[in-house]
Amino acid sequence: MFLIVVILVSSNYSVVIDTIQHWKEDRQQPVEVPEEQSIPVIQNTAETQSGTSPQPDTRKRYRKNEFNRIVASLQAEASILVVGDIGSGKTLLATDVTKALQDEGFQVVLIEPKTHKQLLLDITSQLGIESTDVNGKGLSLKDLETAIAFYLQNNIAFLIVDDAQRCDVRFRTWLKNISRKTPMLLLATSPPKTDVFINLARLELRPLPEYAIREIMEQASLARGSNLSANDLARLQERVGGNPMLAERAVDEEYIGVDIEAGDHKQYFDLTPIILLVGVAFTIVRFIALGSNNPALYMLAGSSGALFMGVSYALRSLPRESRRF
């Protein structure tokens, strides 16, 4: 018997806390308690990274709220989908969550995209399920699916799938089928609004705050011995857009002397629609000039309106930026 304090993530992110007495056997109704009590305390200290990397994790964790929310959701048997750009820190979050749950004694399966069968074999391997029959012959896909589902129905284990958008549709459909009874964490970049992705509560990873990005860049700079000045970092930070991976990459690019000015983040806003609005404003002025019998203003506003609309159209007609390097 043990007590677990959890957060249930609702659509508007309100927090509900469940008090559960040995929730493997006897799940009780949630009881609301203040939020402060619900958040597991996560220190900003160096932590040992779990998963495949044997290196100790000296990173400072900047996504504490997301981490706490995910852990609490999974402990409350609520599956969750984490959506974020490439490099936004999903994999790090996945390994942190895995470690936190393992430290609490839970069985956790952390998988990355492979073929459907490889994924199922990976899961059986991590859960310790036999993947062969009594004759030593490998189980079929259907049998593997059934065996895993049966195991998960009778045991508590968390399923964490990184880059879930790259898993094939059949695997995602199977995930959808077991998602009601198996708490899972899917992490994806721009997932389609279908199958398992539309079924799960969604948590979006926002860009990291500027101070966090600056700290990451300073650490990266120190690690490479480049000791960039505040001026250099401010200039490089322009092309980072709150993305920790891009922050490190910008420092790397500066370190090796690559002359790059534009960033690869998605925090750009094209002003072209505003130019169209200016054209519309001039068109309105043209009608005012017509009403007030002011031919010069009519002509000026009309020609300016046409100019701005034309420029707007021309800009929209420009070739789109390639998504490939």
List of residues contacting another protein (CB under 8 A): 207, 210-211, 214, 230-231, 233-235, 237-242, 261-263, 267-272, 275, 293-297, 299-300, 315, 318-321
Please report how close the Cβ of residue 274 comes to another protein at its closest, in angstroms. Answer: 8
Please report how close the Cβ of residue 104 comes to another protein at its closest, in angstroms. Answer: 36
Please report how close the Cβ of residue 272 comes to another protein at its closest, in angstroms. Answer: 6
Give the nearer residue to another protein in terms of CB position, either 51 or 207.
207
Q: Count Cα atoms within 13 angstroms, Cβ side, for 229.
A: 2
Give the nearer residue to another protein in terms of CB position, either 199 or 294.
294
For tokens 């019998």, the residue is 293
Give the nearer residue to another protein in terms of CB position, either 127 or 278.
278
The one-letter code for the residue type at 18 is D
Please list the residues that pair with 109 across neighbouring strands. 159
Give the nearer residue to another protein in terms of CB position, either 134 or 296.
296
Give the nearer residue to another protein in terms of CB position, either 126 or 304.
304
Task: Measure the CA–CA gap between 158 and 72, rounded to whole angstroms.
Answer: 12
Give the nearer residue to another protein in terms of CB position, either 150 or 268.
268
For tokens 């250099």, the residue is 232
Give the nearer residue to another protein in terms of CB position, either 31 or 234.
234
Structural element, H or E, at residue 129? none
DSSP helix/strand/coil, 218: helix
Residue 263: which of 137, 128, 85, 144 has the closest Cα? 85
β-strand 8-9 against 15-16: which pairing, if any?
A: antiparallel
Phi-psi region of 93 (alpha: psi -120 to 50; beta: other; left: phi over 0): alpha
Please report how close the Cβ of residue 189 comes to another protein at its closest, in angstroms. Answer: 19
Please report how close the Cβ of residue 291 comes to another protein at its closest, in angstroms. Answer: 13
Tokens of 88: 């936004």
Please report how close the Cβ of residue 251 comes to another protein at its closest, in angstroms. Answer: 14
CB 78 within 8 A of CB 125: no
Please report how close the Cβ of residue 72 comes to another protein at its closest, in angstroms. Answer: 28
Q: Count Cα atoms within 13 angstroms, Cβ side, for 174.
A: 23
Enter the DSSP assignment of 322.
P
Torsion of CA 177, 180, 181, 183, to 10 degrees: 110
> Got the DSSP string for 190-234?
S--SSHHHHHSEEEEPPPPPHHHHHHHHHHHHHHHT----HHHHH
Query: C-alpha distances in angstroms, 318 versus 187, 275, 299?
Result: 34, 15, 28
Give the nearer residue to another protein in terms of CB position, either 169 or 299.
299
Task: Measure the CA–CA gap between 242 and 87, rounded to whole angstroms.
Answer: 10
Give the nearer residue to another protein in terms of CB position, either 72 or 236.
236
Please report how close the Cβ of residue 311 comes to another protein at its closest, in angstroms. Answer: 10
Please report how close the Cβ of residue 139 comes to another protein at its closest, in angstroms. Answer: 50
